[in-house]
């Protein structure tokens, strides 16, 4: 999915020790932080909202073919659990095989969507969830092709503050 990258890898990506977990606590902290932001940037760039651990192990994200280095599964799980603590990912199953990746939190998405609602005068209008993320009126928006579940979470936030009301699972009415 996504365009083949003009994604800008961080310098660490070409640095072989980056793919081996460091022993020194300080260095290890910096290393995991760099991995965390790399994962979020990568998913942001490619507009990916979901990560399947088995798939991603072989993807360029954790496997640098050029220097023939890869991150092992336990290391990936460790970094993902750090992201989980930060609130940037959410496991979808108990076995921790698939997770949602929030390079923007649902609250941030709700702000962006509501700004768009105001700008395009959609207040007091009924919209299908499908047209919000896939309609012709939002093709230039950041939330175009946003994951359905994340969209739902964002709209639930708007609903809690009275700015929207869900109509079942397929529609929403926006207010002011």
Partner 1 sequence: MGNLFSSKPKPKPSRVTPQDRAILELKKQRDTLRTYQRKIENDQEVLKRLAKQCLKDGNKNKAKLLLRKKKRQETLMTQTEQQIDNLEVMANDIEFAQLESNVFEGLKVGNESLKAMHKLMSYEDVEKIMEETQEGIEYQRELDELLAGSVTQEDEESILAELDDLVGDKEKIQNLPDAPTDELEQKTEARKEKKQERTLLEAS
Smallest separation, CB 11 to partner 1 (Å): 41
Q: Please, which residues have CB within 8 angstroms of residue 90's CB and are 6 or more apart in sequence? A: 84, 99, 100, 102
Compute and round to an integer the Cα radius of gyration of the chain. Answer: 19
Smallest separation, CB 152 to partner 1 (Å): 9
Please give the DSSP secondary-structure letter assigned to residue 142.
T
Quote the tokens at residue 117.
């609602």
CB nearer partner 1, residue 4 or residue 176: 176
Smallest separation, CB 151 to partner 1 (Å): 14
CB nearer partner 1, residue 31 or residue 153: 153
Over the range 157-170, which residues count as b (16 or more CB within 10 Å of their CB) and which as e?
bbbeeebbeeeeee
How many Å apart are CA 169 and CA 56, to the nearest integer? 30
How many Å apart are CA 20 and CA 17, to the nearest integer? 5
Smallest separation, CB 169 to partner 1 (Å): 7
C-alpha separations of 166 from 25, 106, 129 in Å: 47, 16, 9
**Which residues in this chain contact partner 1 in the complex, by CB under 8 A?**
125-128, 130-131, 134-135, 156, 159, 162, 165-171, 173, 175
CB nearer partner 1, residue 60 or residue 171: 171
Smallest separation, CB 86 to partner 1 (Å): 25
């Amino acid at each position: 999915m996504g365009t083949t990258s003009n994604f800008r890898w961080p310098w660490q990506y070409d640095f072989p020790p980056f793919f081996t977990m460091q022993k020194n606590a300080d260095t290890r902290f910096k290393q995991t932080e760099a991995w965390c932001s790399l994962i979020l940037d990568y998913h942001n760039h490619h507009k990916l909202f979901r990560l399947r651990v088995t798939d991603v192990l072989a993807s360029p994200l954790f496997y640098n073919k050029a220097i023939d280095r890869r991150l092992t599964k336990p290391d990936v799980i460790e970094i993902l659990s750090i992201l989980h603590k930060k609130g940037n990912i959410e496991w979808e199953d108990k076995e921790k095989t698939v997770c949602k990746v929030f390079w923007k939190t649902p609250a941030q998405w709700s702000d962006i969507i509501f700004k768009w609602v105001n700008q395009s005068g959609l207040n007091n209008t009924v919209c299908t969830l499908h047209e919000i993320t896939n309609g012709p009126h939002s093709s230039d928006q950041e939330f175009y092709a946003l994951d359905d579940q994340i969209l739902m979470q964002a709209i639930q936030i708007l609903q809690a503050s009275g700015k929207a009301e869900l109509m079942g699972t397929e529609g929403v009415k926006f207010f002011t």
